[in-house]
Amino acid sequence: MNGLEVFLRAHGLWAVFLAAAFEGDITLLLTGMLVHLAVWPPAEALVAGAAGALTGDTLYFWLGHGAARRWLANPRGQRVLSQVERVAQRYGVWSLVFARYIYGARIATMFFWGARGLPYRRFLLLDSVNCIIWAILYGGLGFLFSSSLQWLLGELVRMELGLLVGGVVFGILLACRRYLSRRVRKQDGATSRH
């Protein structure tokens, strides 16, 4: 079992709610798998997932009214904003619906529409329906492919240690490269002054 699956099993539907608010896709796939294993009733699990997703989206939407405006003003925010703006110009408020299914687009889109002052009632109506459809779709996929997900999770657990060690080694190598690069620049700067 992976960490998220252990968390979901240990803390029940509250964990589904909480995890769906921040990392929904994998959460709902695992939820569908756990429903297939008769850990939870299907309707309750999907409602918890949809409600968690709506809560997370609402948080990002309201951040768009305030704190996200500063983030949208920095260079990285401007790059993301221009991409979201192009999609919003083409699809309008329906971009809220599509963003849920495009990895990495959901949060930026919620910030964008919050910053643009979309009326909350309209946001709530669109996003509620979308979260319900999304929970049924991803939970259903998790249910249908339960045995494949269990096998994949088993393989990932076996690979976790190797991935962790590889990540640590990679991080150390990057830090060494950065350190040596700075040191060479300092030496070059000192040599050019003399």
CA distance 169 to 160: 14
Element (H, E) at 86: helix 75-91
Residue 163 pLDDT exceeds 80? no
The number of residues making up the chain comes to: 194
**How do residues 51-61 score in pLDDT, each as one tens digit?**
999 999 999 99
pLDDT at 17: 93
* Residue 41: CB atoms within 10 Å: 11
Q: Identify the burial level of 14 via C-beta atoms within 10 angstroms of its C-beta, where 0-12 means exposed, 13-18 middle and 19 or more buried.
A: exposed
Amino acid 154: pLDDT: 61
Query: Cα-flanking dihedrals φ and ψ of residue 34, to 5°?
Result: -70, -30
66-88 average pLDDT score: 73
Helix (H, G, I), strand (E, B) or coil at 23: coil
Q: Give dist(CA 62, CA 104) in Å, integer.
A: 18
pLDDT for 93:
86
**Single-letter amino acid, residue 136:** I
CA-to-CA distance for 150 and 4, rounded, in angstroms? 13
Q: Which residues of 141-174 are buried (b: 16+ CB within 10 A; e: fewer)?
A: bbbebbeebeeebeeeeeeeeeeeeeeeeeeeee
Higher pLDDT pick, 168 / 58: 58
User: Is the pLDDT reported for residue 30 higher than 80?
Assistant: yes
Phi–psi pair at 124, nearest 5 degrees: -60, -45
Q: Is the pLDDT of residue 156 over 60?
A: no
Mean pLDDT taken over the chain: 82
pLDDT of 159 reads 60
Phi/psi of residue 119, each to 5°? -55, 135
- pLDDT surpassing 60 at residue 85: yes
The two tokens of residue 116 are 């643009």
